[in-house]
């Protein structure tokens, strides 16, 4: 189970189930024992009533009144209550009328004053028997007798069954209510965890910049550390990019001085050409490496950027730079398309592709976006002269240009490739068939 809520709920439910089953078994056993003791007391009471009705003469003969009002069950067949008396030789000396429907069980002799309660089977049905050995004093001497009372267990079993039905029913209801209360309690108790998760998702998607909620003491240190890490990462990235910008500015001045020196010094035309080429190459390498290193790349907390406004802004800017062409611009990007990228990186990526399309187009530039599973596919197409198949692999190399006559350093597509890779994307270049070229970026949303 990956869900903390499910793990806790499962564990608590398991403990609750074990507790309820254990409680039910304990109460069931206690009620059964209590029922047996109550039955035993009833049977002992009937034994005492039976002893009160018995008469023993001097010869040890047992006689019983013809009617037993206090023990009417003994005078009815199939009453479920039976009695009989045996002497010290285990010989039957008296039995109740109700015993005609059952066989008289043989019992082991007992010592004087000994009592015995146990369960037996008569006619394939469970019964309880209570035996009590007494010494009867007469003028002719003392005689030993064992009084036996038998009762069916159906009444006790009916009580037990009724009790079990009520017990399991009420425990089931209580367990269900406890489970609901437990679920609600867990839902309330884990609400801060869900809120943290929701805020982290919002930070990751760029909706908010930090974890802002007020949390319990147990989570406050965690949320504070998360905010510290986010702020540290952003400050570190900002310092890094500022340092790179400072480096670019520092290197730009010496290169400018070198160019000026070449113009003022009396150097041969061949030497000036060689030095110009090397300085331009140094400038291109510096610009390329700085832009590549400054690419932010995908990271948690990068906010979502709407594509269409950025594309329109770049198109307006590039259109002014290429005012002599005034191509037809077709933008097929819905307002729902967004990318989780640094805005500067997105401007750099689209700016290079759109500027390249403006350079090579004849009449039309098409910029489109569409979804492909979890990715967004950006496509910039022009109707220019196109690209030869064998040149495609070289175009993303630093300093390579499709046409040396066109102005530029030949690093634009290399920058596009590196920015796309920084965001786990891929750059594809497809040659056109009399319609120029297509530059495709597939990048995760």
CATH topology of domain 217-296: Helix Hairpins (1.10.287)
Tell me the domain boundaries of the chain. 4-159, 217-296, 304-444
Share of the chain above pLDDT 90, in %: 20
Strands 62-63, 55-56: pairing kind? antiparallel
pLDDT in tens, 86-138: 988 888 999 988 888 889 898 888 888 899 999 998 888 899 999 999 998 88
User: Which pLDDT does position 295 carry in this prediction?
Assistant: 59
C-alpha distances in angstroms, 437 versus 367, 383, 413, 426? 12, 7, 13, 17
Average pLDDT, the chain: 82
**pTM for the full predicted model:** 0.51
Share of the chain above pLDDT 70, in %: 88
Q: Which class for 407: exposed (0-12), middle (13-18), buried (19 or more C-beta within 10 A)?
A: exposed
User: Which pLDDT does position 410 carry in this prediction?
Assistant: 45
Q: How far apart are CA 208 and CA 201, in angstroms?
A: 9
What CATH number is given for 4-159 in this structure? 3.30.450
Q: Give the pLDDT band of residue 45 (cuts 50, 70, 90).
A: very high
User: Which pLDDT does position 443 carry in this prediction?
Assistant: 84
Maximum CA pair distance of the chain?
163
User: Which pLDDT does position 117 carry in this prediction?
Assistant: 93
- Note whether 217-296 and 304-444 share their fold: no
pLDDT in tens, 8-36: 888 888 998 999 999 999 999 999 999 99
Q: Give the pLDDT band of residue 408 (cuts 50, 70, 90).
A: very low
User: Which pLDDT does position 4 carry in this prediction?
Assistant: 78
User: Which pLDDT does position 291 carry in this prediction?
Assistant: 62
Q: Is the dihedral of CA 103, 106, 111, 117 positive or negative?
A: negative
User: Which pLDDT does position 22 carry in this prediction?
Assistant: 92
User: Which pLDDT does position 114 carry in this prediction?
Assistant: 92
CATH topology of domain 304-444: Heat Shock Protein 90 (3.30.565)
């Amino acid at each position: 189970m990956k869900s903390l809520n499910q793990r806790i709920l499962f564990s608590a439910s398991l403990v609750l189930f074990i507790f309820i089953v254990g409680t039910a078994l304990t109460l069931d056993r206690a009620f059964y024992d209590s029922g047996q003791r109550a039955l035993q007391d009833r049977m002992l009471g009937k034994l005492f009533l039976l002893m009160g009705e018995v008469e023993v003469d001097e010869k040890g003969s047992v006689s019983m009144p013809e009617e037993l009002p206090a023990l009417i069950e003994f005078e009815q067949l199939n009453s479920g209550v039976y009695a009989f008396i045996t002497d010290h030789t285990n010989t039957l000396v008296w039995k109740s009328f109700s015993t005609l429907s059952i066989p008289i069980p043989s019992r082991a002799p007992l010592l004087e004053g000994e009592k015995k309660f146990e369960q037996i089977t008569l006619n394939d049905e469970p019964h309880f028997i209570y035996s009590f050995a007494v010494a009867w004093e007469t003028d002719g001497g003392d005689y030993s007798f064992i009084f036996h009372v038998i009762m069916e267990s159906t009444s006790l079993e009916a009580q037990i069954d009724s009790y079990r039905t009520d017990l399991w029913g009420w425990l089931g209801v209580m367990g269900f209510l406890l489970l609901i209360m437990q679920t609600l309690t867990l839902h309330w108790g884990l609400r801060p965890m869900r809120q943290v998760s929701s805020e982290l998702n919002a930070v990751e998607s760029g909706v908010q910049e930090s974890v802002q909620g007020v949390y319990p003491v147990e989570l406050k240190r965690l949320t504070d550390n998360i905010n510290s890490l986010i702020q540290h990462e952003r400050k570190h990235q900002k310092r890094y990019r500022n340092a790179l910008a400072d480096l670019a500015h520092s290197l730009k001045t010496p290169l400018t001085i070198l160019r000026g020196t070449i113009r003022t010094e009396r150097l041969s035309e061949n030497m000036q050409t060689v030095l110009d080429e090397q300085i331009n190459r140094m400038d291109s390498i510096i610009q390329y490496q700085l832009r590549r290193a400054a690419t932010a790349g995908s990271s948690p907390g990068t906010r979502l950027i709407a594509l269409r406004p950025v594309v329109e802004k770049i198109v307006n800017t590039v259109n002014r730079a290429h005012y002599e062409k005034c191509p037809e611009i077709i933008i097929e990007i819905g307002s729902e398309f967004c990318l989780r990228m640094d805005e500067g990186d997105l401007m750099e990526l689209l700016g290079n592709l759109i500027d390249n399309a403006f350079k090579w187009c004849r009449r039309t530039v098409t910029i489109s976006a569409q979804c492909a599973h979890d990715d967004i596919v950006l496509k910039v197409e022009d109707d220019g002269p196109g690209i030869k198949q064998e040149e495609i692999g070289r175009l993303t190399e630093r300093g390579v240009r499709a046409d040396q006559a066109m102005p530029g350093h030949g690093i634009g597509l290399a920058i596009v490739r590196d920015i796309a890779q920084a965001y786990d994307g891929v750059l594809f270049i497809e040659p056109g068939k009399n319609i120029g070229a297509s530059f495709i970026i597939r990048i995760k949303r």
